[in-house]
Amino acid sequence: MTVRDTARTAMERHYVEVLEIDLDRCTNTYGVAPCTATGAAGTECYNTFQTCQAKAAYNKGIHTYSFITRGAPIPPGELVRPYLDSSNTSPTVANPGDGLARRASVSVKLVDEPDSDTEQDPYKATRAPAQGTFWTRLIARNRNYGGRAARLRRGFAVTPWDWGTFQTERYIIDSLAGPDKNGVVSMTLKDPITLADQVKVPIPTDGKVAVALPDYERRGYAQSGTLSTIVLDTKASAVDGYYVGMAVRIDDQTAAGEERIISAYVGATREATVSVNWSVAPDSTSLFSIHHLQVSVTAGKGAQYDVYGYPAYVRLGDEIIRITSRSGDTLLWDTSADRAQFNTPLASHNTSETLQACKTFSDTPITDVVIALANEAGISNTYIDTVGLADQETTWYGTDYHITVALSAPDTVSNYLKELAIESSSIIWWSPIDQKLKMMAVVPNAPSTVPLLSEEASIIEGSFDVQRLDDQRLTMTAMAYNLIYPTADRKKPSSFLSAEMFIDADAESANEYGDQRVNVIYSRWFGAANAQAAANLAGRTINARRNAPLGLKFKIDPKDANFDVGALRDVLSNKITDVTGAPVTMRVLITRYDDNGRFVNIEARSTDFGRRWAFIAPDGTPDYPADSSYAHICLDTGLMGDGTEGYLII
Amino acid sequence: MMNFPSLCYDNRFDDGTPVASTTATGYSVSNLQDWRAYTWWKPTALPATVTVDCGAAKTADYAVIVGHTLGTSGATLEVRGSTDNFVASDVLVATITPTSDNPILLQFASTSYRYWRYKITGGATMPAMAVAAIGTALEIPGDLAEGFDPLTRTVQGTINKSVQGHPLGRVFDYEAWSQDLNFGVITWDWLRASFIPAWKGHLRGSPCVFIWDPVSHSDELYLVTLGDNFKTPHSAGGYANLQFTVSGVHTS
């Protein structure tokens, strides 16, 4: 048992919170190389960027300020200010069906005092005594506090002091206000998924076409050709060198499918020399087309398109072009096939059009897409449950959920994550306790034993509430997918080439619910290769929601508080019974976990599925009923050998 | 030596600039003077000293430490005085080897030195100290009125019971200690000459250490703040009562 578990499960606990905030602090010493500041003693900076007098030499480090619950014991020998008046958490709420969980936030109230300034001012000894208060000075010297890391540590005071009793939740600073008329400073912390609300992918780019780009430069029948030349039609350009650097492609008849770069062109004869010999010499039957292999963007904008490396993809109107390299403000590609990528239409583009860089994924596991998007939002892999996602990938997603898509219009990462979660029957949330972004397929977990929360031993009196969430009930789910091309209008059903649908006719029948509850999802993520994933969504959604799920709310004592959102627990309450009225144990998914030290507010969702389920048995597994831990589908009667209900393959 | 309830706020370290033999980064020696039990001085080598030059000989009869790790460290604390900045004159005034990290009060016969010093010796780990004062106690020349309670504790917390009535646990936040003090038979002269200057000079704005029984319970120290006011109602015999509130938290 850990020291935290020992303290948490004791009958008496001394609950303490510690807030830590990481603010920027220069690692240099004023006036000492590499710092080039030269002010006199008493005029030094405060080692913050705000007060820096030699910003070119500024070297950002971190200083952690710590605040502990007022009245709590001070950890011996540690600078932890007893300023923390209160904290109020609005925790993550990860409801199945919502996709991306509601972001957690914490409102913290901190008191102020004059303070001796020894912590903030490295050069205190050279100055007159500081005026103001701790917070007024800190805010004045650190305007750039937004987005900096904050940790709320919840634990128990023991003797001797032991940080091992603390559990650390990670947030970022969202706002800092005050001191107010009562000297109270208000700080709001939010979970790092907030970053996903702020960051757009692809990164907006604003280069415009500098020289018009036609769909193709010329098309016609060749007059003749050799292995190294092609003589264009008589109306081709009479200007020497006009087509040099462009690609000539044979679209039909002799040499069809071949494409070469034009290395020389004589206007008088219309003869183009190709850089590499044809395999077959074109002749007068050859239908050719000539294509540009570059586009110039407005001056100084070219470097914007390096953002995702090369090959890169840019959108021009509805067309997506694959760019293989850049030269200054000119974007280049290799062949005519680099135009009209992702089934987009080949089109002409005039000088008023903007080139938008695209973020693309090709046959990428859905969990890797989530990780990549989170990375784009500034959430590094350190704060992503990569191990958990890999496990989910192996168990539930697999190749059915490999994504090929081009994101061609900037949208928030949070919108993307929400779509991915909904369309894969998953939830994505930030776990402050594990300090990780997590993703989990909303399917019943493998049969196992999970801890019981009962009205006798765990649930606090007067706290248990159960609701039937009828608004969550569905009788039909459909997914439209296989978008005709990524830039097509996703609001039009006709933009989608494929659909999967699952209808529970029994649920819609007069003897059951007698109504239709329809859920239609239009997916930009799933293509033709994701048909099974689309079918999974439709089927699993109805199986999970043909009956209204139960939503539970209750409080538990900290002694039982050793889990988190996404965990499964069994709940035994007199308010959940079978038809005889006997209490039944219900397995629930924890969707909200709010630990305020005195008790933990829990919200949970029932995990009923349309039919009982299990994994399909591997080779060598004994026959049913000798083995009952795996799914032995059924006899041809639809029932198991013992007459019980057959299994459903999902 | 104190005999009556006393307030320790006077500090020789305020008479000059304390100089430490060594100081760990982030543990400024000036933290010893700020009356905050959460800002610390910590040396980097032992023995370690903190010395102050008062400019002229100044008197002291106590040393108080609130917030320290001397007990955990196993260190010995000495209070020393000198007339020549510890060149030839180096007098041990008081010493203690604490067995715990509870607040320390050292009482000694009133004596004067220009230079005062804390010296720390021994110690398995580097100790830290939060509040340290060497000075002359403000001894209140009267007894505490009936009803004073040095041991009471007020717990802020929550008790959890299960739906079926079983106790699940109790969470408490902290133990507060607050008392309305009432001293009888105080002379007006003392109030005017000693208490009011102390109030103006320190007590109305900064914490101090309150010792309710320096003779029998000198280890029961409270780092307290005084309330917003004090009262001195007239009492029989030409005396006054002195009334004020102290509040703090239990430190041991």
Of B38, B127, B156, the CB nearest to A74: B38
**Yes or no, beta carbons of A11 and B167 under 8 Å apart:** yes
Q: Which two tokens stand for residue A599?
A: 């008790």
pLDDT of A159 reads 86
Query: Among A209, A145, A151, which residue's Cα sits nearest to residue A177?
Result: A145
**Yes or no, beta carbons of B160 and A78 under 8 Å apart:** no
Q: Write out pLDDT tens, residues A286-312.
A: 999 999 999 999 999 999 999 999 999
Q: How far apart are CA A444 and CA A446, in angstroms?
A: 7
Q: How far apart are CA A21 and CA A77, in angstroms?
A: 19
* Residue A444 clears pLDDT 70, i.e. is over it: no
Residue with tokens 């398109």: A305
Residue with tokens 């089927």: A539
Helix, strand, coil % in chain B, rounded to nearest 5? 15, 50, 35
Which residues, in sequence order, are CB contacts of A535 under 8 Å at separation 6+? Answer: A500, A502
**Residues recorded for chain B:** 252
Share of chain A above pLDDT 70, in %: 96
Beta bridge partners of B58: B113
Residue with tokens 């209070």: B79
Q: How far apart are CA A501 and CA A537, in angstroms?
A: 9
Chain B residue numbers with beta carbons less than 8 Å from the beta carbon of A78 are 40
Q: How far apart are CA A273 and CA A638, in angstroms?
A: 72
Greatest C-alpha distance within chain B:
75
Q: How far apart are CA A566 and CA A92, in angstroms?
A: 11
**How would you classify the pairing of strands A167-177 and A185-190?**
antiparallel
Q: Give SS3 for A480.
A: strand
| CA of residue A264 relative to chain centroid, distance | 50
Q: Is A340 left (phi over 0), alpha (psi -120 to 50) or beta?
A: left
**Yes or no, beta carbons of A118 and B39 under 8 Å apart:** yes
Q: Which two tokens stand for residue A39?
A: 């002010």
* Residue A36 clears pLDDT 80, i.e. is over it: yes
Of B130, B163, B171, the CB nearest to A455: B163
- Eight-class DSSP state of B162: B
**Yes or no, beta carbons of B101 and A76 under 8 Å apart:** yes
Q: Give SS3 for A528.
A: helix
Residue with tokens 């074109």: A282
Mean pLDDT estimate for chain A? 91
pLDDT band at B155 (very low <50, low <70, confident <90, very high): confident
Of A15, A459, A597, the CB nearest to B163: A459
Mean pLDDT estimate for chain B? 90
- Check if the beta carbon of residue A19 is closer than 8 Å to that of residue A84: yes
pLDDT band at A189 (very low <50, low <70, confident <90, very high): very high
Q: Is the peptide bond before A96 cis (omega within 30 degrees of 0)?
A: no
Q: How far apart are CA A430 and CA A89, in angstroms?
A: 14
* Residue A650 clears pLDDT 90, i.e. is over it: no
Q: Give SS3 for A438.
A: strand
Q: How far apart are CA A455 and CA A463, in angstroms?
A: 10
Q: Write out pLDDT tens, residues A575-609.
A: 999 899 999 999 999 999 998 888 999 999 998 77
**In angstroms, what separates the C-alpha of A22 from chain B's closest C-alpha?**
15
Q: Which of A5, A18, A78, A79 to mutate to test the interface with B (most CBs of B within 10 A)?
A: A79
**Yes or no, beta carbons of A13 and B172 under 8 Å apart:** yes
pLDDT of A540 reads 85
pLDDT of A302 reads 95
pLDDT of A95 reads 85
Helices A366-376 and A413-423 meet at what angle, rounded to 10? 160
**Yes or no, beta carbons of A79 and B160 under 8 Å apart:** no
* Residue A28 clears pLDDT 80, i.e. is over it: yes
**In angstroms, what separates the C-alpha of A68 from chain B's closest C-alpha?**
10
* CB pairs A-B closer than 8 Å: 116
- Check if the beta carbon of residue A522 is closer than 8 Å to that of residue A490: yes
**Yes or no, beta carbons of B170 and A12 under 8 Å apart:** yes
Chain A residue numbers with beta carbons less than 8 Å from the beta carbon of B31 are 116, 118
**Yes or no, beta carbons of A118 and B160 under 8 Å apart:** no
Q: Write out pLDDT tens, residues A449-498.
A: 889 999 988 999 999 999 999 999 999 999 999 999 999 998 899 999 99
Tell which wins on pLDDT, A56 or A74: A56
Q: How far apart are CA A376 and CA A368, in angstroms?
A: 12
pLDDT of A551 reads 95
Chain A residue numbers with beta carbons less than 8 Å from the beta carbon of B162 are 455-461, 557
**Yes or no, beta carbons of B173 and A464 under 8 Å apart:** no
**Cα separations in angstroms, B192 against A39, A109, B59, B199, B241:** 48, 41, 21, 10, 13
- Check if the beta carbon of residue A543 is closer than 8 Å to that of residue A608: no
- Check if the beta carbon of residue B105 is closer than 8 Å to that of residue B223: no
pLDDT band at B144 (very low <50, low <70, confident <90, very high): confident
Q: Give SS3 for A56.
A: helix
**Taking chain B, what is the end-to-end CA distance rounded to the nearest angstrom?**
23
Q: How far apart are CA A583 and CA A127, in angstroms?
A: 71
Report the run of H or E that residue B247 belongs to, with start and end. strand B239-249
| CA of residue A538 relative to chain centroid, distance | 23
Q: How far apart are CA A556 and CA A266, in angstroms?
A: 86
Q: How far apart are CA A604 and CA A569, in angstroms?
A: 9
Q: Is the peptide bond before A34 cis (omega within 30 degrees of 0)?
A: yes
Chain B residue numbers with beta carbons less than 8 Å from the beta carbon of A11 are 167, 169-170
Q: Write out pLDDT tens, residues B62-119.
A: 999 999 999 999 999 999 999 999 999 999 999 999 999 989 999 999 999 999 999 9
Q: Which two tokens stand for residue A602?
A: 């829990």
Q: Write out pLDDT tens, residues A154-168.
A: 999 998 899 999 999
Considering the entire predicted model, what is its pTM? 0.80
Residue with tokens 């168990």: A395
Of B161, B169, B174, the CB nearest to A72: B174
Share of chain A above pLDDT 90, in %: 72
User: Which of A247-261, A316-330, A539-553 comes out lowest in average pLDDT?
Assistant: A539-553
Q: Write out pLDDT tens, residues B161-210.
A: 888 888 888 777 667 788 999 998 899 999 999 999 999 989 988 899 99
pLDDT of B165 reads 81
- Chain B's closest residue to A121, CA to CA, is B26
Report the run of H or E that residue A135 belongs to, with start and end. helix A134-141
Please state the three-class secondary structure of A570-618 as a single string: EEEEEEEECCCCCEEEEEEEEEEEEECCCCEEEEEEECCCCCCCCCECC
Residue with tokens 């890391």: A149
Best-predicted range by mean pLDDT (A278-282, A508-512, A643-647) = A278-282
Mark out chain A residues that contact chain B at CB-CB < 8 A.
10-16, 68-72, 74, 76-82, 116, 118-119, 124, 160, 455-464, 557-559, 573, 597-599
Q: How far apart are CA B5 and CA B18, in angstroms?
A: 29
Burial tier of A3 (Cβ tally within 10 Å: 0-12, 13-18, 19+): middle
Chain A residue numbers with beta carbons less than 8 Å from the beta carbon of B30 are 116, 118, 124
Q: Which of A47, A64, A74 to mutate to test the interface with B (most CBs of B within 10 A)?
A: A74
Measured CA angle at A285 (ends A282, A290), to 5 deg: 60
**Yes or no, beta carbons of A457 and B26 under 8 Å apart:** no
Q: How far apart are CA A572 and CA B194, in angstroms?
A: 68
Residue with tokens 């639809």: A638
Q: Give SS3 for A25.
A: strand
pLDDT of A115 reads 85
Q: Write out pLDDT tens, residues B4-53.
A: 999 999 999 999 999 999 999 889 999 998 888 888 999 999 999 999 99
Chain B residue numbers with beta carbons less than 8 Å from the beta carbon of A16 are 173
Query: Among A448, A450, A431, A451, which residue's Cα sits nearest to residue A439?
Result: A431
Chain B residue numbers with beta carbons less than 8 Å from the beta carbon of A598 are 157-158, 160, 171
Mark out chain B residues that contact chain A at CB-CB < 8 A.
26-28, 30-31, 33-34, 36-40, 42, 67-69, 72, 101, 127-128, 130, 156-158, 160-176, 249
Query: Among A151, A195, A145, which residue's Cα sits nearest to residue A171?
Result: A151
pLDDT of B111 reads 96
ipTM: 0.72
- Chain B's closest residue to A74, CA to CA, is B38
